[in-house]
Amino acid sequence: MKLDIHKRFRLAFQIGLCFLFISLFLDWYIFQTYDSNDNLISHWTFNPITGWNTLLYNNSTENYLFKPQNIHIPIELIVLYIIVLLLSAYSMLFKDVEQNTVIEKLIFYAYIHFFLLALVGFFIFMFPMFYLLPSRLYFPFLRVKDKDLNIIYFHSIGPGYCLQIIGFILIFPYIIFYYRTVIKFKSVQYTSKKLINKYLQEVQEVVDFDQLIANERIKLKFEDDGFIELESSKIYQNKAKKKKRVL
């Protein structure tokens, strides 16, 4: 039963990793502007790698007039995100807890998985809180009408951000299972070693080899003396028996 659950978690993790990787190349946010006749006059989409992009080139003046403020996500953070994704994929393929007998060597990959989970969660909460709302880009969906300009603004999250949320949900069970298994094994191993060392310290005694040798010599001496006395007693008894026979 546990093996079946692990396989399901692993399959969900694989799908989640694919969603997270694909999401980096999709739009995370969509901003559109319509006039009073519902004609599209501005259309902008945001991607964490390429920034703001537009498909409207015929009406470039009005389109660029309503372009949102620039959102700058450090490229170093994106590169780190991709590296962690690849390491997690490698761990899932070649360093799975069910396929490795030396579990203590998987502690590095357990931390990688946990870091990936924290990184995805950071993106999910960081993107709207630190990038969208300060730029007056509403989250997740909102239709705003400007009565002065007679213009309608439409705000919505994109498919890339949705895949981030779905990917987080899919990778969560496997990462928790992987992390708890490795950390629990490490804790049990550490506790066992600690108990063994404690026991050895309790039973350990300082051995005086000189005293031990002296005791052994005394013991052997008493054993030899006892043997001599026993032999003398036997000889005396034999002589007494012979005298009785003569009489």
pLDDT single digits (tens) 177-206: 888 888 876 655 544 444 444 544 554 544
* Mean pLDDT confidence for 91-102: 76
pLDDT at 56: 80
pLDDT-derived band at 100 (thresholds 50, 70, 90) equals: low
Return the closest-CA partner of residue 35 out of 65, 71, 68.
65
Kindly report, residue by residue over 217-234, the tens digit of the pLDDT.
Answer: 665 655 555 544 545 555
The structural domains of the chain, with segments of one domain joined by +, span: 2-199, 208-247
2-199 has which CATH code?
1.20.140
pLDDT at 131 over 80: yes
* Per-residue confidence (pLDDT) for residue 219, from 0 to 100: 59
3-state helix/strand/coil string of the chain: CHHHHHHHHHHHHHHHHHHHHHHCCCCCEEEEEECCCCCEEEEEEEECCCEEECCCCCCHHHHHHCCCCCCCCCHHHHHHHHHHHHHHHHHHHHCCCCCCCCHHHHHHHHHHHHHHHHHHHHHHHHHHHHHHHHHCCCCCEEEEEECCCCEEEEEEECHHHHHHHHHHHHHHHHHHHHHHHHHHHHHHHHHHHHHHHHHHHHHCCCCCHHHHHHHHHHHHHHHHHHHHHHHHHHHHHHHHHHHHHHC
pTM: 0.71
Length reported for the chain: 247
List, for residues 69-86, the tens digit of each pLDDT value. 888 888 999 999 999 999
- pLDDT of residue 88 exceeding 90, the answer is yes
Residue 26's pLDDT band (cuts 50, 70, 90): very high
Residues facing residue 30 across a β-bridge: 45, 156
Q: What is the mean pLDDT of residues 231-238?
A: 52
Q: What is the rounded average pLDDT of the residues 158-181?
A: 93
The pLDDT tens digits of the residues spanning 35-70 come to 888 888 899 999 999 999 988 876 678 888 888 988
pLDDT at 246: 46
Structure tokens given for 62: 């009005």
Return the number of other C-beta atoms located less than 10 Å from residue 12's C-beta.
17
pLDDT of residue 70: 85
Residues linked to residue 23 through DSSP beta bridges, in sequence order:
none
